[in-house]
Structure 1
Amino acid sequence: MTDTPAAPADHVAPADQDAPAVQDAPAGRSHTRDLRLGVIGLGLRATLAKEAHRPGEGSVVVAAADTAPGMHARAREWFGDDVHVHPDHHRMLAAEDLDAVFLITPDHTHEALAVDLLAAGVAVFVEKPLAITTEGCDRVLEAARASGSRLYVGHNMRHMPVVRVMRDLIGRGEIGEVKAVWCRHFVGHGGDFYFKDWHADRRNTTSLLLQKGAHDLDVIHWLAGAYTERVTALGGLTVYGDITDRSGQAPGAVMPDWYDPERNWPPLSLTGLNPVVDVEDLSMMLMRLEGGIHASYQQCHYTPDYWRNYTVIGTEGRLENFGDHGESAEVRVWRHRSGYRADADLVVPMPSPGEGGHGGSDPMLVAEFLRFVRSGGPTDTSPVAAREAVAAGVAATESLRSDGRPVTVSRIAPDLAAWFARGQS
């Protein structure tokens, strides 16, 4: 049978990921004037700041910073000739009166930049992953606690309809108590997206199991209502390591400049890889989560198709998504014994995708951040959850590079977790 779309999951996190209590807006902060925003990093994901640029409608990007002068013209193109462009974040902070900053820079820079921004007293949107080490994440969280500045992490998949529908079905008890979560991530354009620029160098990412997997690990935790305790993983550089053309791309170029879905196939035909390629293009990890829940995650960067498939198994059924966004995507639920059958007991089609990136989830992510800057209160994203996704990816990378040795995930300090659970002011 076909059911109507499930209502979006409410904003109450699972018991071990309590959402912060609603807070009043800080004294003196106007609810009527435009928020004054800055953006650091003008690469591909800086379109999130472009989404927030709504002069006269609540928020305006007044300043931008990028260490590459060639990117400065993009700021003026997106935000107008009045935007103040700076060569680095220090000069931007010294010159500008900002309410919040979008931090959209390469992963390895997130930690130091976020700490500086939080210490300066501005609210910070950090594009995922929060950092490339567990210790780096903890340093950012500590900086948020010490300064009292609001911290938000860009895990936009928590706003994707397919994820929210799956979580809502689990919350309604459609499959009973969750016992296992499996995710297969087919990264069909991985060669173009991750092996032609800084992503291919583990000094910038730790691994793609962390960088790309941070989304999926966060979703696994959200659907299970539990964090990862112990992991084991295997993988390797199985295809792109054989490509000898490591000429890289032109300085200042970003992925759409070289991406060609028609020409760059099969994967071994790619050229212009990053000069350093030492991250795995195939990885598989097994996880034991809190409460005895088990999970698995597989990631391949040279499949012909590009999508994610989640399966969640409970004590009374199983659900699975087919497609991850778009009008053809749906979630199917099986609740009765049978042999193979495609006709599930419950089928929930996804609503038509909204405008904006990632099926409309990017605008929702930005809207939640701006509301959080103004008023505080609960959010569907969580800095602690972002930290736990990185911690699981770091542990899995350590396991993968030590021939599958089991690794225990580093836990967050209880007092720090408790501070975020009480809510950011």
Structure 2
Amino acid sequence: MNQHCRLGLLGLGKWARRAYLPNLALMDDVQLVAVSTRTDANRAAAAEWLGPNTAVLPDWRELLKRSDLDGVIVATAPESHCEIAASALDCGLPVLCEKPLALTLDECDRLLEAERQSLAFLQVGLEFRHAPVLCQAKKWVAEGRLGQVTQVWCSIFRDKRDSPRRQPERWVENGGVFVEFLCHYFDMLTALSGGVPERVSGVAGQALRSGAWDHGWLNIEYDSGALGHVGYSLLCPRDAERLELGVAGDRAVLEIMLGQGRLVLQAHDGDRLDWQAPPVDHPSEPYPGSFEQLRHFIGCLRTGEPSPINGVVGRQMLSLGYGAERAVRAQRSVALR
């Protein structure tokens, strides 16, 4: 690999402009060789933002034909993720693909087959997984500081009552709240549980006119014996928005403050341990782990080692999202495919 890691970015929508372009601009060892976007307005804007050293293309297929790429980032509309990521893998290009990897499990299975047949690797975009505070929490769990994990939980309170971006409506179009929104929280709980999700149950309601399940409570059963609990509401006043995340074991309980980068471990014997993420020289924008996720992908490109946050992880989250939808509609516990 050259001194600079040469990347292509497919898609220049709001998420690409918020999560990828600003963070890539902070990296001296990365060269954004080419971008693709369908709209004339985005292409004109990209030419102005990125300058003459980045090719701006109208079709993602043109980008994948280039011979000067070390890897690509797929940040297009969700319905195109599977086709584009599979095509990139067929070209031998490592892929960082935004979630969801596909809009059906059958599509996702075809993408995983493309990953198996390729010499390249697939990483799914789940940025919270890379936040330093979550990495430290996982380390403590793996070291056995909590003992056997029995429960993992999170509560998410957000204000989406009058979203200017029509987020609840768009989530319905792209797999629903469980697939598009809660997948990030499912992934954090799964990473901390030490297990694989096997069953899900729950209740949810619709108070908005978006068609989305905008509040509810879900329960996840893991093959490790741990239980997961996710409570959420999109109806919370903005001033009261919050996220609560924790892990319970038979020796200790861990509270994770994702936004503050802080951990508090309280052992059953009375011992207490506080941890604060060290300061960094880059912003955590737009969410904790966004910058580190890119560094992880680039690190995998340089070493040639595939990312552990791979297609299997992406499929698990898709299966859990659609399983939660089935469970809520059927009002019973369902096994995950």
Looking at structure 2, the residues matched to 191 and 353 of structure 1 have their Cα atoms a distance apart, in angstroms, of: 34
Contact 1:235 1:400 in 2 (8 A): yes
User: Percent identity of the aligned residues?
Assistant: 26
Matched, 1:178 2:149: yes
Q: Which of 52, 57, 66 is the matching residue for 2:24?
A: 52
Question: What is the aligned partner in structure 2 of residue 286 from structure 1?
Answer: 219
Q: Secondary structure at the match of 2:163?
A: helix
Question: What is the aligned partner in structure 1 of residue 302 from structure 2?
Answer: 374
Matched, 1:388 2:316: yes
Amino acid at match of 2:83: A
Matched, 1:169 2:140: yes
Deviations 1:386-417 (Å, cap 9, x if unpaired)?
Answer: 22112111100111123x2221101xxxxxxx
Q: Secondary structure at the match of 1:364?
A: helix
Looking at structure 1, the residues matched to 26 and 121 of structure 2 have their Cα atoms a distance apart, in angstroms, of: 21
Amino acid at match of 2:278: P
Q: Which runs of 5+ in 2 are unaligned?
A: none
Looking at structure 1, the residues matched to 317 and 176 of structure 2 have their Cα atoms a distance apart, in angstroms, of: 13
Matched, 1:315 2:247: no
Contact 1:231 1:287 in 2 (8 A): yes
Amino acid at match of 1:398: R
Deviations 1:89-139 (Å, cap 9, x if unpaired)?
Answer: 123334564221110112222112211221122111101232233222222
Q: CA deviation at 1:54?
A: 6.9
Q: Secondary structure at the match of 2:76?
A: coil
Looking at structure 2, the residues matched to 93 and 71 of structure 1 have their Cα atoms a distance apart, in angstroms, of: 19
Contact 1:187 1:300 in 2 (8 A): yes
Deviations 1:360-404 (Å, cap 9, x if unpaired)?
Answer: 6222211111121232226452332222112111100111123x2
Structure 1 segment 3-402 matched on structure 2, within 5 A: 30=1, 32-47=2-17, 48-50=19-21, 51-53=23-25, 57-94=28-65, 97-188=68-159, 191-192=162-163, 196=166, 200-201=169-170, 204-238=173-207, 240-241=208-209, 277-304=210-237, 305-321=240-256, 323-326=257-260, 329-336=261-268, 345-352=272-279, 354-356=281-283, 357-358=285-286, 361-377=289-305, 379=307, 381-402=309-330
Amino acid at match of 2:173: N
- In the superposition, the TM-score normalised over structure 1's length comes to 0.71
Query: Cα gap change, 1:307/1:190 in structure 2, threshold over 3 Å: closer, same or farther?
Result: farther
Query: Cα gap change, 1:295/1:354 in structure 2, threshold over 3 Å: closer, same or farther?
Result: farther
Contact 1:181 1:224 in 2 (8 A): yes
Contact 2:156 2:233 in 1 (8 A): yes
- In the superposition, the TM-score normalised over structure 2's length comes to 0.89
Contact 1:353 1:359 in 2 (8 A): no
Larger relative contact order (CA 8 Å, sep ≥ 6): 1
**RMSD, matched Cα:** 2.5
- The alignment covers a number of residue pairs equal to 332
Q: Which has the larger radius of gyration?
A: 1
Question: What is the aligned partner in structure 2 of residue 252 from structure 1?
Answer: none
Deviations 1:290-326 (Å, cap 9, x if unpaired)?
Answer: 02211111221122333421121111121112x3223
Query: Cα gap change, 1:286/1:89 in structure 2, threshold over 3 Å: closer, same or farther?
Result: same
Looking at structure 2, the residues matched to 126 and 150 of structure 1 have their Cα atoms a distance apart, in angstroms, of: 11
Q: Which runs of 5+ in 1 are unaligned?
A: 1-29, 242-276, 339-343, 411-425
Query: Cα gap change, 1:74/1:167 in structure 2, threshold over 3 Å: closer, same or farther?
Result: same
Contact 1:42 1:104 in 2 (8 A): yes
Amino acid at match of 2:24: A
